[in-house]
Amino acid sequence: MIPVTIKNLVFSYPQGRNNILDNVNMKISGGGISAITGTSGSGKTTLCYCICGIIPHIYSGKISGEVLLFGKPIKDMDLAKIATKIGIVFQEPDTQLFSPTVEDEVAFGPENLCLSRDEIGKRIKSSLNIVGMENKRYEHTSHLSGGEKQLIAIASVLALDPRILILDEVMSGIDKAGRMRIKQAILNLKDSGRSIMLVTHDMDDLDIADSMFELKDGKLLSLAYK
């Protein structure tokens, strides 16, 4: 089953006159890194919202076409269910972490799924391991650098064990060393068999992508395949 299928997706915000997405078609197949570029305001985040169900479940608008998650229309799934299949991490690390320690932060999702202590422990360990942050498990989140906060934001989403991860400008505003670590974490995610959608406006990030797309005037253009 294909993880994500987007068919003839057209979307505009309630007050907006233009279609932000204008007949977008896309497939995210099993494994690999799909990169999406585009100028500021081209609709990258809007597309992410459509793929992870924030549109239409939280933000509404005029929408037609379909987004299917493992073959099922995302509009018919509830957000809690969607979150176990697809995870999303945004740009600002400070707005995404809300627990005092790294361990609490990563445990939050699995605790809400009411998993056993044993399973929660396993998920904390494996999520921190994939992003290379096992040694920060007992650290206060406020003591982490911007790049480390993003790695923990990724780990906390990973703890729900989604098959698909959407990373929306997660390397913006992060220093070079932090960006290198995040890139390595993304490659580890790919090696774990997950599908990653990497949104970026920085061409330097594209070296890790397997396929590349550009959003322009509401259209999704396929740029190149490796």
Ligand X SMILES: Nc1ncnc2c1ncn2[C@@H]1O[C@H](COP(=O)(O)OP(=O)(O)OP(=O)(O)O)[C@@H](O)[C@H]1O
Interface with ligand X by CB under 6 A: which residues?
Answer: 13, 15-16, 20, 38, 40-46, 59, 201
Q: Is the CB of residue 86 less than 8 Å from the CB of residue 69?
A: yes
Q: Which two tokens stand for residue 15?
A: 């007050």
**What gap in Å lies between CA 189 and CA 193, rounded to an integer?**
7
Q: Is 96 in the site for Mg ion (CB under 5 A)?
A: no
Residue 98 contact, options ligand X, Mg ion, none, Cβ 5-8 Å cut-off depending on partner type? none
Per DSSP bridges, beta strands 62-69 and 4-12 are antiparallel
Q: Which is nearer to ligand X, 72 or 201 (CB)?
A: 201
Cβ closest to ligand X, residue 38 vs residue 162: 38
Helices 176-191/117-130 angle, 10° precision: 120
* Binding partner selected for residue 70 from ligand X, Mg ion, none, CB under the kind-specific 5 to 8 Å limit: none
User: Which residues does residue 35 pair with via DSSP β-bridges, in sequence order?
Assistant: 198, 212
Among 37, 42, 45, 200, binds Mg ion (CB under 5 A): 45
CB atoms within 10 A of CB 175: 11
Q: Under the criterion CB under 5 A, does residue 37 sit at the interface with Mg ion?
A: no
Q: What is the smallest separation between the CB atom of 160 and ligand X, expressed in angstroms?
A: 24
Nearer to Mg ion, 44 or 163 (CB): 44
